[in-house]
A and B are shown apart, each in its own frame.
Chain A
Amino acid sequence: MTISAVSEAPLVPRLELEAGKLVGLIGAPGFGLTRLGLGLLRDQPGWVACIDVRGWLSPAAFWEMGVSTDRVVVVRCPDSHRWPQVTAALVEGMGAVYAEVPSGVAAPMLRRLGALARARATPVVLRPVDGDLPAGITHLRLEAQEVAWEGAERGRGRLRGRRFTMAASGKGMGGIDQIIEVKDDGADTVRVVSGLAVAMPRRAV
């Protein structure tokens, strides 16, 4: 079984969860970020909590990704007012946390959550269900750009795998923004296959 989210080439960034660090997965549903996030959780020791804002997370995808659900707990929390408390409680005690972020959670709350994750050395994946995360919150920010599926042909075949590109930025990238390509084989492997290019610097607003 291939280790998930680990680069094949030495110059390509390693996508791994680090103790006390926040990873942000930005993009509309459909680009493959949920499976990428679940792949990151696979080798985490201890209990893992997944905060499910819409009640849509499917454990069937966990099993396909090789994540054992014996030590995974899904916490459903659609209320954005209660979300910070619930997430903070889980960050305090769990081995790792995958948290969908509802719209309406204030930036200072997310910063406090980041501080708590650092203090407790808990790796956290943040996945906003709508929109973006405030700047500077995450150690590594992965923003989906394009996705291409393989296997389905006008009524024939079936979905088999996909390649998608992401803009990777943040301290986790050493300050150098990159466009990276990720391959998802549809089973238990999501891995970075190449760093396509250094991203264009963003224009100051």
Chain B
Amino acid sequence: MVDDANRVVATNRLADNVQVGMLRREAEAVCPAVVTYAQDRGAEAGAFEPIAVAIETLVPRLEMVHPGLVFVPVVGAVRYYGGEEALVERVREVVDVVAGPGAAIAVAQGPFAARQAAVLARDLQEPFIVTNEAEFLASLDVAAIGSEELAATFRWLGITTLGELASLPRAAVASRFGTLGLEAHRYASGEDRTTQPRDVPEDRAIEEKYEEPLVNLEQAGFAARTVAYRLAEGLRADGVAPHRVEIEAESVAGSVLSRVWRSADPFDEATLAERIRWQLRAWVESGGIPGGLRRLRVTPADMSGEGRQLGLAEDPASEAEATRALIRAQALVGPDAVLQARQQGGRDPGEQVQWFRWGEAAPAPTRDPSAPWPGRLPAPTPSLVPPRPRPLAVEWEAGLPTRVRLRSRWEPVLSWAGPWRRMGRWWEGEPASDRYQLVTSAGAFLCEVREGESYLVGIYD
């Protein structure tokens, strides 16, 4: 089974040497007899639906992540069934009946730990109940945070387990690795959203009623897109996005079905439409909507402020991709190296720029851009400005520049302009300086002469 990117996502026993993650071509090379099928998440949702229904006979209001992974809030059920072991056994029995043996079942206090425990349960081929969550998380490899790049960076720094990561000061991790690092630290510390259903404001829900019942998958897909669009539009105006949605469908026969879907990243319009479509398809194919769909309602929950309001020309999908890319860049180089700039007043090119971290609100300008700033250099501005003036070897004859040393070569000064006199902040002991534009056959440079020494302060590149 291969996904949209032609990567193997599942294999069976007969596919010798084929491993999940391989490219389709690699799989065909190591096993020429292999037959590949495109992954169909809608069909998977349909196949998984009986399992979800079976679990719901024991515990209501489970939360789907994707076909194959479901979170079940068990606080009440554990008391009802007389303990975690008894509940797990009941769940295993009902799942075995509809899907056969092999389900990976794990119990933990939070979704992140439960998911990691389920991976262990799959390897051990028996249910796994986490009794001491802090200890369990601390023992996990740092790769469990889900970002390979960030995990590699942590390993390079000598941090190999989540316990070691959690022992670092959170502020230091956030400062160095940005949003992604902060999220990893939260997971490592056992802090993530719970699966307990919470009250949802009624006015956020979107409901559509159909005079002509929807009877086929094409109509259901269209309805999914429309509802997702309306919901995303409504939430975007408030700058929020849901991490959970409850999809409720009413059939012509009067039966009402509902299912909760959740996601670690907030749902955007496309992913929301996809989940609604999967769910409707699963219900339709399992015969759960007799006579057709008469009403569809989607209720968002667990809002986060990550749904920024977009401009008219902005595309939500590309916005999300750009945000992800910049968060990854922050994780690699640190948030202090992922910057945006705002114009402000100042005499030198460096002073006229106010830097601030991407993702944070721009601070108030420290220098008034509308002030006259006497001594300010005229345009064009050097496009390359070293953070600090760099010593520059310039030869002078009778106060006029004649040659400048660029790397290992002396270049004659063809022409020059200036000086622009800059009175230093004498009250702070800063000396006065003169700035010259020097033109050579290799380009033009902005040079500052201060106390008899020359410095490079900009390159007109």
A interface list, Cβ under 8 A from B: 28-35, 38, 45-47, 49, 54-64, 69-70, 72-77, 79, 82, 85-86, 89-90, 92-95, 146-147, 149, 151-162, 184, 186-187
10 A-B pairs with least C-beta separation? A30-B443, A93-B325, A61-B383, A59-B341, A152-B417, A186-B380, A47-B322, A93-B321, A34-B461, A76-B337
Separation of A64 and B378 alpha carbons in the complex (Å): 11
**Chain A positions within 8 Å of B329 at CB level:** 49, 75, 86, 89-90
B416 contacts the other chain (Cβ, under 8 Å)? yes
Tell me the chain B residues, 406-448 only, with Cβ under 8 Å from chain A: 406, 414-418, 437, 439-445
With A34-B461, A90-B325 as known contacts, state yes or no: A69 contacts B380, CB within 8 Å: no
**Of B333, B343, B439, B443, which one neighbours A152 at CB under 8 angstroms?**
B439
* Shortest Cβ distance from A45 into B: residue: B313
CB-based contact B415/A149 at 8 Å: yes
A-B contact count (CB 8 A): 185
CA distance A49 to B328 in the complex (A): 13
Rounded to whole angstroms, the CA-CA distance of A93 and B315 in the bound complex is 13
> A76 with B325: in contact, given A95-B318, A147-B441, A152-B416 (CB under 8 Å)?
no
- Closest Cβ of chain B: how far from A105's Cβ, in Å? 15
Chain A's nearest CB lies how many Å from the CB of B307?
17
How many angstroms between the C-alpha atoms of A76 and B414 in the bound complex?
34
Asked if A46 contacts B318 (CB within 8 A), the reply is yes
Which residues of the other chain, A, contact B337 by a CB distance below 8 angstroms?
Answer: 75-77
B443 touches A32 (CB 8 A): yes
Q: A61-B381, A94-B326, A155-B416 are in contact. List 18 more A-B contacts (CB 8 A).
A: A29-B384, A33-B461, A46-B314, A46-B322, A56-B386, A56-B387, A58-B385, A59-B353, A62-B341, A64-B381, A74-B338, A75-B339, A85-B149, A86-B333, A93-B326, A155-B417, A157-B417, A187-B380
Q: Closest approach, in angstroms, between the C-beta of B61 and any C-beta of chain A? A: 35
Q: Are A30 and B415 in contact, CB atoms less than 8 angstroms apart?
A: no
Which residues of the other chain, A, contact B461 by a CB distance below 8 angstroms? 29-35
The residue in chain B whose Cβ has the minimal distance to the Cβ of A154 is B415
Interface size in chain B (residues, C-beta < 8 A):
57
Instruction: Tell whether A73 pairs with B326 under 8 Å between CB atoms, given A60-B353, A60-B381.
Output: yes
Complexed CA–CA distance, A159 and B435 (Å): 13
User: Provided the pairs A69-B340, A76-B339 are in contact, do residues A158 and B385 lie with their beta carbons within 8 angstroms?
Assistant: no
Contacts of B149 in A (CB 8 A): 85, 89
B42 is an interface residue with CB less than 8 A from chain A: no
Of the candidates B149, B415, B459, the one having the most CB atoms from chain A within 10 angstroms of its own CB is: B415
Contacts A69-B342, A92-B325 given; does A58 touch B381 at CB 8 Å: yes
The one of A28, A58, A161 that contacts B458, using a Cβ cutoff of 8 Å: A58
Interface membership of B358, Cβ < 8 A = yes
In angstroms, Cα B406 to Cα A34, docked, is: 18
Cα of A157 to Cα of B417 in the assembled complex, Å: 6
B417 contact from A31, A34, A153, Cβ within 8 A = A153
- Name the residue among A38, A45, A73 with the largest chain B CB count within 10 angstroms: A73
Give every chain B residue within 8 A of A154 (Cβ-Cβ).
400, 415-416
Interface string of B140-159 (1 = CB under 8 A from A): 00000000010000000000
- A31 and B318 in contact, given A152-B437, A159-B460 (Cβ under 8 angstroms): no
In the assembly, what is the distance between CA of A68 and CA of B332, in Å?
Answer: 26
B residues near A61, Cβ cutoff 8 Å: 380-383
Min CB–CB distance B329 → chain A (angstroms): 5
Q: How long is the Cα–Cα vector from A73 to B362 in the complex, in angstroms?
A: 13
Could you jot down 23 A-B contacts, CB within 8 Å? A29-B461, A31-B443, A34-B383, A34-B384, A47-B319, A56-B387, A58-B381, A60-B352, A61-B383, A62-B341, A72-B340, A73-B338, A74-B340, A82-B333, A93-B322, A147-B441, A152-B416, A152-B417, A155-B400, A155-B416, A155-B417, A160-B380, A187-B380
